[in-house]
Amino acid sequence: MKYMHFNSSCPYAGLANLLELQGAGTEDYKIALEMNLPYFLHYDKVTGYYQAGPSLQSAEWFDLYLNPRGFRYIEKICRKAQLFEIFQKEKQGVMLGLQVSEHSRHAVIFLEEKEGKFVFLNNKWEQSPEPEYLELTGTELSSRIPEKVVVGYLEPCEAKCINYASYYDEAVRTWESLRGQLHRFMDEVQSVDVLRESMNRLFRPLLLDGLTMMQLLEEEQLVLMLRDIRNRYLEQLRKNQPIRLADHLDCAMIDKAIAHIIKLISRKISDGSQ
């Protein structure tokens, strides 16, 4: 059993558990560091969300770690009724997300069907009181997944090297774009609903996932800076009233934090790091 070691890492702990089933043991934080996850930032044009760290959890990103090691992540979208067929075909090692709240899912791994129940490995923190295995009836499983389900599993492939240059370039451009978006957003009075909607869309990449990734890189001064910004930001949201964030947050400090991250990425580019 491979456990979670950083915030929101259930898909990466899941990837470590899928590899464990293949006899290739590792940990979620090792995967993140070895694939250079802390240096990536992506803008999803469909959702309008900026994504960093553990929010990057599709085959495209997993393969950055897997391909050099002779694996690839096969990702499929299926309907509920097809899910059971995939379980029967793959036997074990199928990752999917179970609904834990209206807007939140948790990655688990199907292991087997036993005595009329589907057994899943629960990617969790080691000290969490949650069970390591979940046993769900077909009805219970159906109630915790949407009509269309994204599933994934590993498949052997020919090993190949990854060139990270385009990912670093994208990250620099996207951090610059996000900095501009944050300035424009913070400079205007926003309603409570808009403020809450913006938490994941605009602020999460810097103040949650970005903070987590900088912890992995042991960028201690930057981590302290991001924690301070995050605490001030959450303090304003707790007021539950329309506000102009620029009146309460230090925009210069946000610029400094993003500039530090861009500097780290630029260093990777100049070093020709792979």
DSSP characters over 176-192: HHHHHHHHHHHTSEE-H
Backbone angles phi, psi at 76, to 5 degrees: -135, 150
Cα 67 from Cα 95, distance rounded (Å): 18
Look at residue 52 and give its three-state secondary structure: strand
Check: CB of residue 162 under 8 Å from CB of residue 262.
no
Cα 48 from Cα 119, distance rounded (Å): 35
Class of domain 165-271: mainly alpha
Report the topology of domain 10-34+71-156: Cathepsin B; Chain A (3.90.70)
Look at residue 2 and give its three-state secondary structure: coil
Per-domain boundaries in the chain: 10-34+71-156, 165-271
Q: Which residue has the tokens 């688990």?
A: 108
Q: What is the pLDDT along the chain (274 residues), one digit of tens a residue?
A: 999 999 999 999 999 999 999 999 899 999 999 999 999 999 999 999 999 999 999 999 999 999 999 999 999 999 988 898 888 887 679 999 998 776 788 999 999 999 989 999 999 999 999 999 999 999 999 999 999 999 999 999 999 999 999 999 999 999 999 999 999 999 999 999 999 999 999 999 999 999 999 999 999 999 999 999 999 999 999 999 999 999 999 999 999 999 999 999 999 998 865 5
Q: Tell me whether the CATH fold assigned to 10-34+71-156 matches the one assigned to 165-271.
A: no
Please name the amino acid found at residue 3.
Y
